[in-house]
Chains A and B, each alone.
Chain A
Amino acid sequence: MDRPDPQELTHDPEKREPVFGRDRALKETRGGGDSMMTPIFALLFAALFLARRGNGRAAALCILATLVLAIGLFLFEIYSPEYGFRMPWIQVSLPLTAGEG
């Protein structure tokens, strides 16, 4: 994939939240995954609280569930419908000049 065209990069001043091309609009149609932050922190708090109280097995189950959900949310957050998991903006290529290649 080519480096993204700067013309595609837009900014939504009303929301005061910058958006990256068509990415956000495309992502918003997927829904679901981005609502997991609150359950993740609920499970994390439960895990820490139970570990502190000495309820080791329940705490371990909660922290494992936290880990799985956190990895899922991380993958959701970094996935771009336009670029997938790739990061074309950090590709480096120098144009070949006459006599090279």
Chain B
Amino acid sequence: MRKDRLSLLHYLYLFLMQLALAGIQAAALFMQFAFGETPCPLCLLQRVAMFGVSFGIIKNFREGFSARNAGLSMIFALLLPVISVRQTLLDIYPRPGHEYIGSAIFGLHMPVWSILIAAALLLGFALKSAVLGGDDELTPLQKFPALEKAANALSVLIVALCAVNFASVVLQCGVDACHTYEYRLLR
């Protein structure tokens, strides 16, 4: 009984993390298409890092918990601040060619938000380990049919968001450099 409750907490925790990631990716796509904010290469790499975190969570949902999956997620969660801190430092001294692009949300631009998101993700994984403990030999997700259905739908949404990003990158970059002033294939 206690094991079931602990398992449910683990799954719920990961589900909420995945939901937050899906929301961020959807918001980024919305800003891109609704406000014409074509992403820069480093912005796209930050999306890659966030999808990498989602990858580990999808695998946990699909195949059961594994420290390997959590490790993969954390590698990408660490890649995210490396990229976003560098981009923030590139643009921190405003000069032509290096200034924050896109709109600021609550006064913060996307790379700065990415740093906060990365810190939240790493804190999330740390808290999960500290509070809920190890996640080996937990009850399979199939024992919680409602959550399983929701987790599956969320995984499909993440794959779909990645597909839209992929199509957008093909349009924006083709097989050449990505620019923020045009979609190369729509010229």
Could you list which residues of chain A lie within 8 angstroms of chain B, going by C-beta atoms?
4, 6, 9-11, 15-21, 23-24, 34-35, 37-38, 40-42, 44-45, 47-49, 51-52, 54, 56, 59-60, 63, 66-67, 70-71, 73-74, 77-78, 87, 89-90
Known: A38-B174, A51-B58. 17 other contacts (CB 8 A): A17-B181, A18-B97, A34-B176, A38-B175, A40-B45, A41-B44, A41-B162, A41-B169, A41-B170, A44-B52, A48-B162, A63-B55, A63-B72, A67-B76, A70-B45, A71-B79, A89-B93
Interface range on chain B (Cβ under 8 Å from partner): 35 or more
B→A interface (CB under 8 Å): 41-42, 44-45, 48-49, 51-52, 54-55, 58-59, 62-63, 72, 75-76, 79, 82-83, 86, 89-90, 92-93, 95-99, 155-156, 158-159, 162-163, 165-166, 169-170, 173-181
A49 touches B44 (CB 8 A): no
The interface residues of chain B, by DSSP majority, are classed as helix
Take A47-B55, A48-B162 as given contacts and tell me if A11 and B97 are in contact as well, using a CB distance cutoff of 8 Å: yes
Q: Which residues of A contact B98 (CB under 8 A)?
A: 18, 20, 89
Give the top 8 A-B pairs by smallest Cβ distance, nearest first.
Answer: A20-B97, A18-B97, A34-B177, A89-B93, A11-B96, A41-B166, A41-B169, A18-B96
Nearest B residue to A76 via CB reads B41
The total number of A-B Cβ pairs within 8 Å is 126
Please name all residues of chain A whose beta carbon is closer than 8 Å to the beta carbon of B52 when the two chains form the complex.
44, 63, 66-67
Q: Please give, as numbers and ranges, the residues of chain A lying within 8 Å of B178 by CB-CB distance.
A: 34, 37
Chain A residue, CB-CB nearest to B68: A60
In the complex, A17→B159 CA distance in Å?
Answer: 32
Given A47-B55, A49-B159, A51-B62, A87 and B89 touching (CB < 8 A)?
Answer: yes
B72: which A residues are within 8 A, CB to CB? Answer: 60, 63
- Indicate if the CB atoms of A48 and B51 lie closer than 8 Å: yes
A residues less than 8 Å from B79 (CB atoms): 67, 70-71
Residue of B nearest to A28 (CB): B177
Could you give 28 example pairs across A and B, Cβ below 8 Å? A11-B96, A11-B97, A18-B99, A24-B97, A34-B178, A35-B175, A38-B174, A40-B45, A41-B48, A41-B162, A42-B166, A44-B48, A45-B165, A48-B58, A48-B158, A51-B58, A51-B59, A51-B62, A52-B155, A59-B55, A60-B72, A63-B52, A67-B75, A67-B79, A77-B45, A78-B90, A89-B98, A90-B92
